[in-house]
């Protein structure tokens, strides 16, 4: 019988560099650190903490919790937090006038953070009217339509009061046309030219926002209404690039894609096309799904948390807004 001829072994063996941990770390193409994380906070008018049932492990923070939480963020190496208010329903009106109150919940929170940690921690403020409107929309409503230019006027006022309170980054999430240029002009005119604008440039009308609306108390305000006339359709990809280009031309310092994981292709296209600071929001629904699966024992929470965040970095994101921020930073710190 002819001797068995063994196929020649490959000269290139991809597994060589995977054999040892030190080798895998040495050739790592992407890295995740605490500096990549932005920590979203929900705040309420009161003291203590309020559990958000649909966001396991996430609490609304009362005034007495702000300083302690700010110090924790600094100790963990998290560079910035994003503030979202759970506004008292008594303060919600059709015209969302509380958004422009210089002593509203967000402004008081910003001042408390800055009084405690100063510039050691960046503060990002959301600019949109949905936390303050009785109808739950991001803008003013006339008839059954969210009007654009009238909304932008209010957003400019909202941006100024937040900047005056000490906000470092204004983050318009409303998706009104022209709001970035108008807000930039308003901030500069108010002597706040150093305040950055992080635009929610590609924000989609998504079903992943449900737990967030629970957290800010707006889930019942829409009453079955839709935000599809101003937020992007999930079918759109090229349109996102158009939105980003417009916002950059109007003066945005950085841009954001929201939601995150279902839109990693958009993150990649934005970063590769414009090469500007690009962020993504791992939104409440994404977080809640991972937590629910972990609570049922179907996934390892810590491992999936880190893997999901690495996916954002691999797609090109410079940073991620995530409710996992504190837990991820602790784990990364422990791993050295």
Give the pLDDT confidence of 123-139 residue by residue, as tens digits: 999 999 999 999 999 99
Of 92, 114, 227, 258, which residue is the catalytic one?
258
Query: How sure is the predictor about 221, in pLDDT bands with cuts at 50, 70 and 90?
Result: low
Catalytic member of 92, 203, 271, 313: 203
Identify the pLDDT of residue 8: 74
In tens, the pLDDT along 102-115 reads 999 999 999 999 99
Q: Strand 80-86 to strand 37-44: parallel, antiparallel, or no bridges (unpaired)? A: parallel
pLDDT at 265 (0 to 100): 98
Task: Confirm or deny that 250 is annotated as ligand binding.
Answer: no
Note the pTM of the prediction, 2 decimals.
Answer: 0.94
DSSP bridge partners of 282: 322
pLDDT in tens, 251-277: 999 999 999 999 999 999 999 999 999
Q: Determine the pLDDT at residue 2.
A: 58
For residues 216 and 270, give the distance between their C-alpha atoms in angstroms, rounded to a whole number: 29
pLDDT above 90 (res 225): no
The first and second tokens of residue 205, run together, are: 């009308």
Mean pLDDT, the chain, rounded, equals 95
pLDDT in tens, 296-316: 999 999 999 999 999 999 999
Residue 10 has what pLDDT?
Answer: 81
Among the listed residues 206, 203, 267, 276, the one whose alpha carbon sits nearest the alpha carbon of residue 245: 276
For 58-80, what is each residue's pLDDT tens digit? 999 999 999 999 999 999 999 99
Does 258 qualify as catalytic in the annotation? yes
Please list, in sequence order, all residues whose beta carbon lies within 8 angstroms of the beta carbon of residue 71, skipping any fewer than 6 positions away: 116, 117
Please give the average per-residue pLDDT across 325-331, as a whole number. Answer: 98
pLDDT score, position 325: 98
Would residue 203 show up in a list of annotated catalytic residues for this protein? yes
Are 84 and 216 in contact, with CB atoms under 8 Å apart?
Answer: yes
**What residues does each domain of the chain span?**
31-335
Report, at the CATH architecture level, how domain 31-335 is classified. Alpha-Beta Barrel (3.20)
């Amino acid at each position: 019988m002819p001797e068995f001829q063994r196929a020649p072994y490959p000269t290139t063996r991809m597994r060589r560099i995977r054999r040892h941990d030190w080798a895998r770390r040495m050739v790592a193409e992407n890295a995740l650190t605490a500096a990549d994380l932005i920590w979203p906070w929900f705040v309420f008018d009161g003291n203590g903490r309020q559990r958000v049932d649909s966001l396991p492990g996430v609490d609304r923070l009362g005034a007495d919790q702000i300083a302690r939480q700010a110090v924790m963020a600094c100790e963990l190496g998290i560079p910035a937090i994003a503030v979202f208010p759970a506004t008292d329903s008594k303060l919600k009106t059709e015209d969302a006038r509380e958004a422009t109150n210089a002593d509203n919940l967000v402004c008081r929170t910003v001042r408390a953070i800055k009084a405690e940690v100063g510039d050691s921690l960046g503060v990002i403020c959301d600019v949109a009217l949905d936390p303050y409107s009785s109808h739950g929309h991001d803008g003013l409503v006339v008839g059954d339509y969210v009007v654009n230019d009238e909304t932008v006027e209010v957003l400019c006022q909202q941006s100024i009061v937040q900047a005056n309170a000490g906000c470092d980054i204004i983050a318009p999430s409303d998706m009104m046309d022209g709001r970035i240029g108008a807000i930039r002009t308003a901030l500069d005119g108010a002597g706040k030219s150093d305040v950055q604008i992080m635009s929610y440039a590609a924000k989609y009308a998504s079903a992943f926002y449900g737990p967030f609306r629970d957290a800010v108390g707006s889930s019942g305000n829409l009453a079955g209404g839709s935000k599809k006339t101003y937020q992007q359709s999930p079918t759109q990809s090229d349109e996102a690039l158009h939105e980003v280009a417009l916002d950059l031309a109007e003066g945005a310092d950085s841009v954001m894609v929201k939601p995150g994981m279902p839109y990693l292709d958009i993150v990649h296209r934005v970063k590769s096309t414009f090469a500007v600071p690009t962020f993504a929001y791992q939104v409440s629904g994404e977080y809640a799904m991972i937590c629910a699966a972990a609570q049922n024992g179907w996934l390892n929470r810590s491992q999936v948390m880190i893997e999901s965040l690495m996916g954002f970095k691999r797609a090109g994101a410079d940073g991620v807004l995530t409710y996992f921020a504190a837990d991820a930073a602790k784990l990364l710190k422990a791993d050295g």
